[in-house]
Structure 1
Amino acid sequence: TATGGTALGAPGDAASQTGVDALIETAALAFGPIDAWFANAGVDRGRGLAASDADWDLSWNVNVLAHVHAARRLVPGWIERGGGRFVVTASAAGLLTMLEAPAYSVTKHGAVAFAEWLSATYRHRGVVVQAICPQGVQTRMLDDSGPLKELLSHDVALTVDDLTAAVERALTGDDFLILPHTEVAGYYAARAADTGRWLTGMNKIQQRMETLTEEDEQ
């Protein structure tokens, strides 16, 4: 854990066990034992069924397996020391879906699912697991999302500072889901209560997006 407001920037590869190990070793060497891990790396690659195998492979390695690699290294030590905190930056797409982005949607579901498993398995051993699931955040990924930008910003596109403040508040407790966009809780509940109706609604949004795309191309 960094103390005194210090920080260290280090290059790393979140897509491999070797890369994650190197990041953990670098942090531990600089600051001592790690008390909390924020798994922030994420990619959005490919659109629709045209998403390539390479898009899927990279999405799987970064959006899911990076969390697995980190947990393998950190959780056993936390159990010995009496606890730790593992925070997964997922997405509202991991609770709902993101139209046009199958690799992102599926792997963010996987990230949430792994975090759920980790919490269910190690909560009684002092390991706090949390999953951050925002909608649109004002980042380059949002700017590059094309027709999805309007959908992701439907409620509001938060600033990075807004998101940081929401996460800081959540870290005072141990609630599993961190929902900076409070509306997501309602969408998630509606999806679970009547999945067919929810999918029909999402398909209507898909149709509107296709219409807007066609108009832009004319």
Structure 2
Amino acid sequence: MNLTDRVAVVTGGAGGIGAALARRFVAEGATAVVVADLDADAARAVADGIGAAAHAAALDVTDEEQVRALVADTERRYGRIDLFCANAGVATSGGVEVDDAGWERAWRVNVLSHVYAARAVLPAMLARGGGYLLHTCSAAGVLTAVGDAPYTTTKHAAVGFAEWLSVTYRDQGVRVSALCPQGVDTPMLAEGLAAGHLGARVIAASGAVLTPDQVADSVIAGLAEERFLILPHPEVAAYARRRAEDPDGWQSGLRKLVRRLRT
């Protein structure tokens, strides 16, 4: 996909990867980018900083009616949606002890929000014979987020759903990509480090933390090639191969890293 003259929606657009994507899409020639976020003021600040091609919208991605309304409003305003980026996500940090509310929140934000977006945008895309879905899934969706069971579980589900969409709708003109970065310099990572969360410490120890703008560079390249997996950290592909070829050895290495960080 070339972004010139395209209309895009970015959820979780008020900061981090979402804001970087919104800025980059406009720089690449998008006609309009809707910056959608639960924090309406922050979304407005991002849109104002981009200029006239950006439009801010308040959105709770876990509310399907709000997602449908946003899609309908965007289609009325701009005529279509070419690219929908389901980018909003949430980390939990914890294992089996995380309460049901924490698991439910992770499920609704990291998985169901993607389902709601697909339900809302697919009818028009299929009728038009084209469109693109970009789902931010995280490297945790193909590997493991040490120290965060709900995040790992839901991000695996997000990758699985994106793959299902790609298999089901690509021949009808709808492209799907799963964006799976590892460490990115975002508030989510900063908050995790400040709280001493194990997963954030593992990412920091890897020494491969990218900026959101670097992730946006990878997204533009991945969209141009219409790749299913967009991996801003190339090493994630090598890790995934190692994990598939030798799951016991892969887990042994992770346990060793966890033991070192805990001493």
**Equivalent residues of 2:68, 2:120 under 8 A apart:** yes
Distance 1:120 1:155 in 2: 35
Secondary structure (helix, strand or coil) at the match of 1:49 reads: coil
2:31 — aligned with what?
3
**Post-superposition shift, 1:53?**
0.5
2:203 — aligned with what?
152
Q: Which amino acid aligns with 2:31?
A: T
Secondary structure (helix, strand or coil) at the match of 1:48 reads: coil
1:132 — aligned with what?
179
CA distances 1:87-108 after superposition (whole Å, capped 9, x unpaired): 0001000000101100001000
- Tell me whether 1:30 sits opposite 2:80 in the alignment: no
- Mind listing any 5+ residue stretches in structure 2 that lack a counterpart? 1-6, 8-29, 33-51
Secondary structure (helix, strand or coil) at the match of 2:208 reads: coil
Match of 1:168 among 200, 213, 220: 220
Match of 2:251 among 199, 202, 217: 199
Distance 2:226 2:53 in 1: 25
Q: Which amino acid aligns with 2:242?
A: A
CA distances 1:55-102 after superposition (whole Å, capped 9, x unpaired): 100100110011111111211221110111000001000000101100
**Equivalent residues of 2:181, 2:231 under 8 A apart:** yes
**Equivalent residues of 1:46, 1:55 under 8 A apart:** no
Secondary structure (helix, strand or coil) at the match of 1:37 reads: strand
- Tell me whether 1:186 sits opposite 2:186 in the alignment: no
The ranges of structure 1 where at least 4 consecutive aligned residues each deviate by more than 6 angstroms after the TM superposition are none
**Post-superposition shift, 1:46?**
4.0
Q: Which amino acid aligns with 1:3?
A: T
**Post-superposition shift, 1:27?**
2.3
- Tell me whether 1:63 sits opposite 2:107 in the alignment: no
- Tell me whether 1:76 sits opposite 2:130 in the alignment: no
Match of 2:88 among 36, 41, 47: 41
Identity within the alignment, %: 44
1:100-119 equivalences in 2 (<5 Å): 100-119=147-166
**Equivalent residues of 2:182, 2:233 under 8 A apart:** yes
**Post-superposition shift, 1:182?**
0.4
Distance 2:70 2:77 in 1: 11
Match of 1:120 among 164, 167, 170: 167
Distance 1:47 1:19 in 2: 29
**Equivalent residues of 2:148, 2:199 under 8 A apart:** no
Q: Which amino acid aligns with 2:200?
A: K
**Equivalent residues of 1:12, 1:22 under 8 A apart:** no
**Post-superposition shift, 1:196?**
1.4
Q: Which amino acid aligns with 2:135?
A: V
- Tell me whether 1:17 sits opposite 2:68 in the alignment: no
Larger strand proportion of the pair:
2
Normalised TM-score (structure 2): 0.77
Distance 2:102 2:93 in 1: 6
Distance 1:176 1:141 in 2: 25
Secondary structure (helix, strand or coil) at the match of 1:8 reads: strand
Normalised TM-score (structure 1): 0.92
Secondary structure (helix, strand or coil) at the match of 1:42 reads: coil
**Equivalent residues of 2:185, 2:211 under 8 A apart:** yes
Of residues 196-205 and 149-158 in structure 1, the stretch that sits farther from structure 2 once superposed is 149-158
Computed over aligned residues only, the root mean square deviation of the Cα atoms, in angstroms, reads 1.4
2:190 — aligned with what?
143
Distance 2:227 2:103 in 1: 30
